[in-house]
Amino acid sequence: MKIQHQAGLGAYKASGFIGDYCRLVRGTVIPYQYEVLCDRAGTEKSHVIANFENAARALRGEDTADGFYGMVFQDSDAAKWLEAAACSLANERDPELEARADELIALIASAQDEDGYLNTRFTVSDREKRWTNLLEGHELYCAGHLMEAAAAYFEATGKRTLLDVCLRNAEHIYKRFVTDGAEGYPGHPEIELALMRLYRAGGDERCLELARHFIDVRGVDPEYFRRERESRDWTVWGSDGRDSCYQQSDRPVRELKDATGHAVRAVYLYTAMADLAAELEDKELEAACRRLWESITRRRLYVTGGIGSTVHGEAFSVDFDLPSDTAYAETCASLGLMFFASRMLELDPDSRYADVMEQAFYNTVLSGMSLDGKSFFYVNPLESVPGISGKAPTHRHTLTVRPGWYACACCPPNAARTVMSFGRYAYGESSDTAYCHLYAAGEVKLSNGMEFTCETAYPFGSEIRYRVAKGGRFAVRLPHWSKKTALTLDGRAVSPEIRSGYAYLDVPGGSELTLTLDCGPRYVYASPEVPELTGKVCICAGPLVFCFEDRDNPFGALRLILDTGSKPEPCTAEGLEGIPALEVRGYALRGGDTLYSDEPPAYEPVTAKAVPYYARANRGETGMSVWRGYVRN
């Protein structure tokens, strides 16, 4: 059974854990990030707003002041901020935020050329270089993010200004690549999935056709990017276009078997492929998506839901290469994995997709943002060592303290827009069914007429209660990690139809459906195929992965050996009030006065403390480790 669509932006009013994060993003992150875009936050310079102002000046033939500044894809930061604002407005009216967004939209519209082209980098400077560097120029990537923002803002407010801007931009791109037959496809996939959203919001069939075009032509000529590079005398980063596997263009997408290359680009592409497969009922494209999903989740996925294990190209490596201390695991890559999982759920409501979507969100995605919403991680290693992490040449990317912003700032606004649109991932619907993929407290009103309220302390509570006002058929996910799961309707046990990890049952209005999970702490062991993790264990509870920090373990988190014969018990951690922690028995290694010794180290019994991975690095610089050695007594 195919899910017809995700829940709409305004279908979910968050409370509980997700509601707290939405309030943080609404009240702190969105205003803070706008100040960053205006260069008023005292952080790494962004200049995004000024770039649009300068582009508008250039189109009027005026002086462009200080010109263009930033990454070639700098425009996308404004687009993601607008989408976060749109998602916020869909859930809670805010005239001040809406006015600020309208002002930015008007500025963006003023930076659009007469022919529909829109990109500040190539409008402010190097106009003659438009569309000559699809590999590195990221014009299609920036256009895609703006299209996503336009669809979201139209859905949230009904205002068409940005939607019409993007439809004109899509028309310009369609003319170039479809009507006029220009060669090429995006170096950084994104516009493909965005065109699908723009198609549904604006109703222009050319958006669907253009998305299909970019997917169909990709990899048909694996040498395209090499030939493009040889035809021009300039580059952005010096890429020669020869590594077609890294660029996901070594073969037509329907023939892809393994997740390769730049991890964010890969999952953005796979998201679009899955979306198009569902829209067109393309079984060959769907089969490719399933193969790629298996490649990621069976052989190339961190326990935290992180993907992209190597800093070299921010990329997938090879099967079972999952180092902890040099992991890249970009925040945006886990966000993209959520997008891919959500679209796979539309093809096939199977709990394994939602399980991974949840795994990525509660661990790597949330880890990418500090608890106060004002600093961010781009990279999410599973082990940090002060003095090595962030300093050694092999570990310079694995920072131990979140910066306030980045020169390449794709992750912070990406996390903000995803948190604010969490309802889209938590709930789906068909004409007669409500799909509960993730457990999110709050009010839900679906377009099929079903209405209910979810009450839960999840992920720190094990009971999820649905109070149903207007009933219908429910499909509730049963996560694979819950060993004991119970479902009751008005206090009585039920025997629902179980299909692909979902419980299906009819729930009339006025009823109460309760799902009880086993969210207790458990030890998790890696496959022996992962050489990095031989003889190691980690602790999880529900969807949460836990880690050990030096701050809570003065003997040193990396000297810890766990006793898996003991049961982790709840406790508290200083400085993380309100966030549950765990205590577990183990041993701390003593010694280390000499680099090597003939004498074995001493082992001292200790009680170790672990905190949720997403809450790491919020109390100053400290060592951290997810995986530890173990014994069983």
Catalytic residue list? 314, 410
Bridge pairing between strands 536-541 and 521-525: antiparallel
Q: How far is CA 580 from CA 137, 440, 481, 611, in A?
A: 45, 18, 19, 7
Question: Does residue 252 have a cis bond before it (omega within 30 degrees)?
Answer: no
Burial grade of 527 (CB within 10 A; 0-12, 13-18, 19 or more): exposed
Is the Cβ–Cβ distance between 77 and 37 less than 8 Å?
yes
In eight-state DSSP terms, residue 513 is E
Neighbours of 509 (CB within 10 A): 12
SS3 assignment, position 523: strand
Nearest to 146 by CA among 109, 94, 103: 109
φ, ψ for residue 131, nearest 5 deg? 60, 15
SS3 assignment, position 384: strand
Q: How far is CA 93 from CA 10, 13, 417, in A?
A: 11, 12, 16
Measure the CA angle with vertex 622, ends 549 and 544; round to 5°.
35
In eight-state DSSP terms, residue 7 is P
Is the Cβ–Cβ distance between 57 and 67 less than 8 Å?
no
H or E element at residue 429:
strand 427-429
SS3 assignment, position 524: strand
